[in-house]
Structure 1
Amino acid sequence: MKLVTIQKNVLVIALTLFSINLKAQVRNPDVAKHLNQLQQQFVDLRFGMFIHYNIPTYANADWPDPDADPKLFNPKKLDANQWAKAAKSANMSYGCLTTKHHSGFCIWDTKSTDYSVMNSPYKKDVVKQFTDAFRANGLKVMLYYSILDTHHKLRPNQITPRHIEMIKQQITELLTKYGKIEALIIDGWDAPWSRISYDDVPFEDIYTLIKTLQPECLVMDLNGAKYPADGLYYTDIKTYEMGAGQRMHKESKVMPALACLPINTSWFWKTDFPTVPVRKPQEIVDGLIKPLNEASCNFILNVAPNRDGLIDDNAVASLKEVGKLWRNEGATAKLPALDLPIISSNIAIKKAANASWSDDMDIMDFANDDNYKSSWRSNAAVKAPWFEIDLKNEQAVNMVVVTEQKPNINTYALEYWNGVTWNKVFEGKNEERIKIHRFNRIWTSKVRIRILQSKESPSIAEFQVFNER
């Protein structure tokens, strides 16, 4: 018990120091520059293997019974080296394994729950076998982790502090027991189908923990459906699950991205996989890898091992053909300099909003409803349009983000109320669609934008206010 207490105290100290370091990031361009280098390195990897292998493999369903018996997980021939060699044959650069999917079953030696591979007939740490095999074959290692956890009732409206502690414990295990992890791909968080928000499980807490444990580990949350394509919201890398209809858009600013699809008809192995044709090699190369790489997007192809723990022959054969058609030619196009990602809670959501005259169908409430598809629009007759968020009580603020449906507002002033008068934190020109402003922390109850020049009647999709650590 004393050892556990000491470990917790050390982690608290580390988190505190990292929190202090985050405060300095606002004024330290070197931090953003280093993240940009990691983002470029990730995109330059170009092509990797996603490995959906977990208890759903034994249920013939991507979403199995949350109380499925651990005894189901019983591979007879599991060979992570076979997975790695199949990836190498396709000239992939890395692999990523589903350590825990939505049903909560852990395939590593975790101390956080009994619902794990160690209580299955197999009783071996699959994550260790995966990381060892892929590194031995010269491949980089990434891990997938689901926040949504139906077995442990980590679901909407049921989340407790104990759940959050479990998440932190599991992530700590994954990032301290298996060497360097290039990226942690997170799923089941802030998605319409999971309904677990970044406030229910605080994103900034989890992001800080990951960066404390492994500062160079990229955080990728599979949230590409909700947020604007040309802004890094709650992720270091933009993500697109193509099978769910998510697609990259041609934006004025190129973003580091990841797109994913399975080689089979679904993510986890199904009984018909050995006989159903897999995705064609030429389609994988010419229709996915090449065009995505040209758009600064890394492509990860899911290959699902079967119940024996082996990749089926038809998938192995397809990967070999891919390797004959394609090789990694090195660095992709250089990414532009990017701001640090937004990781904090937006304190402006659904607060009282005021604005210059607008029609009721374009009223001010649409600019802080957490919906990027709706907007407040000032009436064209207004000569000096403005928009304001009333926080009611004085709060700490050090970042404001203004997002438009399209670039329109180009000159404006951002101001805060100090109880007596309005003070400026910015006045000038910014023609980006997503306008990010970080500044020294101030205390205020109101924040506003005064629009000085725009191409058309000004409109705002989201006016966001943050207090970053």
Structure 2
Amino acid sequence: MFLIPKNSLKLLLLIVLGNASIFTADAQQVSLARRQQDFVDLRFGMFIHYNIPTYMDQDWADPEASPAIFNPKKLNTDQWAKAAKSANMSYGCLTTKHHSGFAIWDTKTTDYSVMSSPYKKDVVKAYTESFRKAGLKVMLYFSILDTHHKIRPGQITPEKIDFIKAQISELMTNYGKIDALIIDGWDAPWSRISYDDVPFEEIYRLIKSIQPDCLVMDLNAAKYPAEALYYTDIKSYEQGAGQHIQKESNKLPALSCLPINTAWFWKTDFPTVPTKTADVLVDKMIKPLNDAYCNFILNVAPNRDGLIDDNALSTLAAIGSKWNNVGPVQALPVSEAPIISSNLAKKQAANSSWSDDMWIMDFANDDSFTTAWMSNPAVKEPWYEVSFKRDEAFNTIVIAEKKANIKAYRLEYNDNGIWKLILSGTDPSRIKIHRFNRVWSKKVRILIDKADKQVELAEFQVYNERR
């Protein structure tokens, strides 16, 4: 038997706990990488836009539309699952709540739901049971933007954040294993609800706390660079919104979505207007997307009776006769864990060496990847600095360039007037993600020692990740 001195015991405990947190973070990333691979291996699934817009001939419903109009006479989720199987799909994803806020599950959070409609049955429950019975994976869609409950720009309150959490908790708790939650209406130019207004990390960790294996997918590809996972486990591309994956260069687990008809929710002309053809959907969508680490989800909208139209059924069967899931796609390249925390540097005071013309330092932390701080070509060793109002803890820095020109650089933080090195980097990527042991400072900077061409820094981002 031996005794460890008190101070040494504390040090040993810190080392053990520190290593445990590292091992836990590493294990979580390995687990996430496995689920990302599993997701792209699914290859092809069915998006099901079915909600109160179905009964309004619109994709965006009137937020004050009466629940009385939601009244399917023949709703049959077994038919949906059978249709998905006919196309050799692997999973489904149902719109539990769209932007107008109508919930199609038995929720305790609001009376603006299917339970107040003439139908009075839990559609989410029926869907999950039918798809599982057919051997299909189950995913759900959920909109953060909610115009009925006034969850919109300038009106986010703690109570509304609690409302969102309560709804997501119901969906994650009451319907068995959910393989993925696809989130919409968040941090988009048209929703204008930021990841700070409704804190992304809190929602992300809530989902994972209830269902650790559930992938969190936010439809946000339009804003963020294609080379990194920002606020999502899977990079998502909505083709109808002009978001198209770069098939030749993509290295991330991805999802691409498109409707089989001309819109997401059912329209009165859907039964008579031809759908996209099986040839196009197989040869131009499924196959090339799968070759680019991308899962393809095809939207098939049930009609007002709650059934899929005959022309869509025929197209799905034709897809199944042309295509089958032959197994796993090629192995995904190793990628960095998603960024899920708030950017501490966003719109904080910035300084830099001489800028080029109008492209001054404020453009590198304005939360836009379309603008950039440009270093004046006359400066041989440019630098860029962000100042906080008080000491901030941080352990991650992302250097996002317009083009990959920076080749050698140093990251430093200021400790009581003395600049101290965080790391020296030579990452040639356009998006350079650096994770390190936590430091505290009011100032952080990048010193650029070597660049091939003029430096164009789109975003200099600083995060304090929980890990």
Q: Same fold (TM over 0.5)?
A: yes
Find the counterpart in structure 2 of residue 385 from structure 1: 382
The 2-side partners of 1:444 and 1:251 are apart by 41
Q: Which of 135, 138, 141 is the aligned partner of 1:141? A: 138
Find the counterpart in structure 2 of residue 201 from structure 1: 198
Q: Deviations over 1:354-397 (max 9, x none)?
A: 11112232211111111111111212221221110011311111
Contact 2:109–2:166 at 8 Å: present in 1 too?
yes
Amino acid at match of 1:451: I
Find the counterpart in structure 2 of residue 104 from structure 1: 101
Q: Which of 341, 344, 367 is the aligned partner of 2:341? A: 344
Matched, 1:118 2:135: no
Find the counterpart in structure 2 of residue 448 from structure 1: 445
Gaps of 5+ in 1: 1-19
Matched, 1:397 2:394: yes
Query: Which residues of 2 match residues 433-444 of structure 1 at below 5 A?
Result: 433-444=430-441
Gaps of 5+ in 2: 1-16
Q: Deviations over 1:63-118 (max 9, x none)?
A: 11101000111111100000000000000000000000001000000000000101
What RMSD over aligned residues (CA atoms) do the two structures have, in Å?
1.6
Matched, 1:155 2:152: yes
Task: State the 1:398 CA deviation.
Answer: 1.3
Task: State the 1:167 CA deviation.
Answer: 0.5
Q: Which of 9, 26, 44 is the aligned partner of 2:41? A: 44
Amino acid at match of 1:362: W
Q: Which of 320, 339, 351 is the aligned partner of 1:354? A: 351
Question: Given the two structures, how large is their TM-score scaled by the length of structure 2?
Answer: 0.94
Task: State the 1:251 CA deviation.
Answer: 6.7
Q: Which of 312, 315, 330 is the aligned partner of 1:315? A: 312
Matched, 1:63 2:60: yes
Contact 1:256–1:335 at 8 Å: present in 2 too?
yes
Task: State the 1:31 CA deviation.
Answer: 1.9
Find the counterpart in structure 2 of residue 95 from structure 1: 92
Find the counterpart in structure 2 of residue 128 from structure 1: 125
The 1-side partners of 2:367 and 2:80 are apart by 41
Find the counterpart in structure 1 of residue 171 from structure 2: 174
Q: Deviations over 1:319-370 (max 9, x none)?
A: 0000000001111111111111000111111111111112232211111111
Deviates more, 1:43-52 or 1:412-421: 412-421
Matched, 1:271 2:268: yes
Task: State the 1:452 CA deviation.
Answer: 1.1
Q: Which of 68, 72, 80 is the aligned partner of 2:69? A: 72
Q: Deviations over 1:113-134 (max 9, x none)?
A: 0001011110100001000000
Task: State the 1:460 CA deviation.
Answer: 0.8
The 1-side partners of 2:34 and 2:22 are apart by 16
Deviates more, 1:82-91 or 1:55-64: 55-64
Contact 1:241–1:260 at 8 Å: present in 2 too?
yes
Find the counterpart in structure 2 of residue 332 from structure 1: 329
Deviates more, 1:132-141 or 1:414-423: 414-423
Contact 2:261–2:300 at 8 Å: present in 1 too?
yes
SS of the aligned residue for 2:236 comes to strand
The 2-side partners of 1:164 and 1:73 are apart by 27
Amino acid at match of 1:405: K
SS of the aligned residue for 2:358 comes to helix
Find the counterpart in structure 1 of residue 245 from structure 2: 248
Task: State the 1:467 CA deviation.
Answer: 1.2
Task: State the 1:407 CA deviation.
Answer: 1.4
Question: Given the two structures, how large is their TM-score scaled by the length of structure 1?
Answer: 0.94
Deviates more, 1:40-49 or 1:430-439: 430-439
Task: State the 1:30 CA deviation.
Answer: 2.4
Find the counterpart in structure 2 of residue 13 from structure 1: none
Deviates more, 1:261-270 or 1:353-362: 353-362
Amino acid at match of 1:387: Y
User: Equivalent pairs: percent with the same residue?
Assistant: 65
Amino acid at match of 1:35: L
Find the counterpart in structure 1 of residue 281 from structure 2: 284
The 1-side partners of 2:222 and 2:446 are apart by 28
Find the counterpart in structure 1 of residue 14 from structure 2: none
Matched, 1:301 2:295: no
Contact 1:380–1:457 at 8 Å: present in 2 too?
yes
Contact 1:143–1:183 at 8 Å: present in 2 too?
yes
Equivalenced residue count is 450
Q: Which of 207, 210, 213 is the aligned partner of 1:210? A: 207
The 1-side partners of 2:108 and 2:45 are apart by 30
Matched, 1:219 2:235: no
Find the counterpart in structure 2 of residue 364 from structure 1: 361
Task: State the 1:26 CA deviation.
Answer: 8.8
